[in-house]
Amino acid sequence: MKDIELQIAEQLYHGEEEAVASLIQQALDAGVTAEDILANGLLPGMDHVGKDFKCGDLFVPEVLLAARTMQAGMEVLRPHLIPGLAPTAGKYVIGTVKGDLHDIGKSIVKLMLEGAGFVGIDLGTDVSPEAFVKAVREHKPDILAMSALLTTTMVEMSATILALKEAGLRESVKVIVGGAPVTLSYSEDIKADGYAPDSARAVDVARNLVG
Ligand code: B1M
């Protein structure tokens, strides 16, 4: 990892929004790609936050600050991750499932999809099965992408797939699931069409399903 990427990870950990935005700009100016800044700076920084949150070294306010810093960093990266003239690869609807407020991973998946030429709608967080069904009915996406970060909320993915089935829409859309507690085996159990452990592979899966 380059020194500047290391600094981005460290400043993200400490929730230093301005420092992270300015370091990202410096890295971009120096020719580091947006993908490298994300993979070697922001994501390891957030991973460090997650580990220390788990073992009790960090608490919710610090995690929130880091999450806000991550979003600020993503705002600087966004135009560099999205090539303006890519042809449309397909249409997506994305959201974090009901009861779940985690949106960082979902937003990264969305950005990466957009970077790969997909266009779509972000329903945000805490999205009920009914709201997903309504969006599929209205927008007719190729891909419905659901994110869950809690073991208690991942069941909503299954509920949404069921709701799609009941609405007669299941065959009209490919469902992709992901998020830290979600596994390939779980995705198979609930009969999703695809699973990805990270945002880069979410794009691969979406491409394969649409292509
Ligand atoms: Co929360 N939280 N949190 N949290 N939080 C976790 C998830 C947790 C693992 C922390 C821990 O205990 N170690 C734990 C869940 C335990 C479990 O269920 N197994 C947890 C908990 C318990 C909670 C609360 C219940 C805490 C509390 O209040 N007592 C609470 C729940 C609130 C709610 O949702 N109802 C809560 C709250 C919060 C904050 C609000 C403080 C904040 C969220 C801020 C925000 O999102 N705006 C937060 C955060 C930041 C985390 C950690 C630290 C980081 C999550 C994150 O953003 N990671 C997290 C610990 C961890 O994950 N290590 C934790 C970075 C992000 C880039 O990764 O989201 O995994 P991730 O996304 C990846 C992949 O998973 C994948 O691609 C992304 C990029 O590569 N991916 C997909 C994600 N979605 C995908 C969809 C796809 C494909 C791939 O296809 C559609």
Tell me which residue of 119, 159, 143 sits closest to 196, measured CA to CA.
Answer: 143
Main-chain phi, psi angles of 13, to 5 degrees: -55, -40
Residue ID of nearest Cα to ligand 1 atom 22 = 150
User: Which residue out of 96, 102, 125, 174 has the highest number of ligand 1 atoms within 8 Å of its CB and is therefore the one to mutate?
Assistant: 102
Where are the alpha helices (H) located in 14-59, listed in sequence order? Answer: 17-29, 34-37, 43-54
Does a structural domain hold residue 85?
Answer: no
Per-residue pLDDT at 85:
46
Domain total in the chain: 2
**Percent of the chain residues past pLDDT 90, beyond the cut:** 66
Q: For 122-157, how does the pLDDT look when each residue is reduced to its tens digit (9 = 90+)?
A: 999 999 999 999 999 999 999 999 999 999 999 999
Q: Are 186 and 154 in contact (CB under 8 A)?
A: yes
Determine the average pLDDT of the residues in 194-200: 90
64 pocket-lining for ligand 1 (C-beta < 6 Å): yes
**Domain extent at residue 30:** 2-80
Residue ID of nearest Cα to ligand 1 atom 4 = 102
Q: Please check whether residues 63 and 104 belong to one and the same domain.
A: no
Per-residue pLDDT at 51:
83
How far is ligand 1, taken at its centre, from the CA of residue 26, in Å? 28
Average pLDDT, the chain: 91
Per-residue pLDDT at 39:
87
- Of 60, 80, 100, the residue that ends a domain is 80
Per-residue pLDDT at 55:
86
Task: Look up the pTM and report it.
Answer: 0.85
Q: Please check whether residues 70 and 159 belong to one and the same domain.
A: no
User: Which residue out of 42, 149, 193 has the highest number of ligand 1 atoms within 8 Å of its CB and is therefore the one to mutate?
Assistant: 149
Per-residue pLDDT at 68:
86
Determine the average pLDDT of the residues in 25-51: 90
Q: For 151-171, how does the pLDDT look when each residue is reduced to its tens digit (9 = 90+)?
A: 999 999 999 999 999 999 999
- Split at pLDDT 50, 70, 90, the class of 61 is confident
Ligand 1 atom with least separation from CA of 106: 84
Tell me which residue of 177, 115, 116, 122 sits closest to 145, measured CA to CA.
Answer: 177
Q: Which of 45-49, 100-104, 124-128, 205-209 has the lowest mean pLDDT?
A: 45-49
- Of 62, 80, 98, the residue that ends a domain is 80
Query: For position 63, which CATH number holds?
Result: 1.10.1240.10
Q: For 72-120, how does the pLDDT look when each residue is reduced to its tens digit (9 = 90+)?
A: 998 898 888 766 545 578 999 999 999 999 999 998 888 878 867 788 9
d(CA 138, CA 136): 5
